[in-house]
Amino acid sequence: MDQTEQQEEDYGYKLFPERNLGKFQKGSIAESLFTFNHKCQVMLQFAIETSPYAKLLLGAMKSSGCAVYKDRHFSCEDCDGTVSGGFDATSSQIVLCQNNIHQQSHMNRVVTHELIHAFDHCRAHVDWFNNFKHLACSEIRAANLSGDCSFNNEVSRFNFGLKKHHQECVRGRALRSILAVRKVSREEAEKVVDEVFNTCFNDHAPFGRIPHDKKDAKFAYRDFENRDREVPKLMLVKGI
C-alpha cells in the first residue's frame, strides 16, 4: 500500500459517523428515553446478563486483566446502513448500531462478535491498523465463534446444504468484514484470509470449542466457570 493509499485509508470509520464527530459522551435522559438509543441500551443489558456467549467472553477478559464495563466499553450509535457493529481499537469501545439492530437475537450476535475482537485485542495485542493478517485472523475467529454461521442463521439466509458449509460461511463473512473496513482488492483480501485461515479457524479461545448454538455456548460457559473453581481445589489437595 503506497503513501497516498495510506492517507486515504479510513479503517472503516466512515461506517460509524458518530466516531468522527467525537460523540463518546452519553446523551441526556430526555434524549435517550423512547428512542433507538434506549432500546439499544436495554437489549445490550439483556445480552450481557443472559447470553452464555457474552458471559463467557466477559469472564475471560476479566481473567485476562481486561475487565469490561458497560458504560465505558459499549456505545450505542447511529451507523451506516450496511453494518451492525464494530470494535474501535483506538478507544477500546464496542460500537452497537442502534439504527440497525432491532431484535434481541441480533444484538446477542453483534455483542458476541465484537467481544471476540475485544478479547483478541486484550489477549493477542492485535495490530489492527498495520498488520493485515492480524485483522483477518480476528475476523475469522469472530465469524467462527459468535454464532454468525450457525445452522439456524444460515437457513434464515437460505444458505445451507453445501459441503464444509460452516468453513465457507466463516471465510465469506470474514472476507466481507475486511473489505468493509479496508481499501484493498478482493484478491488481496482472499489471499490473506487463505494464509491464516486454518490456524485462526482452529483457535477456539476462550470457548474451547466452536459453540454452534446456544446449548454449546452454555456448556462452554459451564466448563469455563468450573475450570476457575477447580484450581483452588487442586492446590488444596496438593497441600499448597
Q: Which residues are catalytic?
A: 114
Residue 102 CA: distances (Å) to CA of 1, 68, 97, 240: 38, 24, 10, 51
Dihedral pair phi/psi, residue 39, rounded to 5°: -65, -40
167: nearest Cα among 145, 144, 186: 144
CA distance 35 to 236: 53
Burial class (CB in 10 A: 0-12, 13-18, 19+), 164: exposed
Q: Is 120 in contact with 138 (CB distance < 8 Å)?
A: yes
68: nearest Cα among 58, 60, 53, 55: 58
Segment (H or E) for 224: helix 214-237
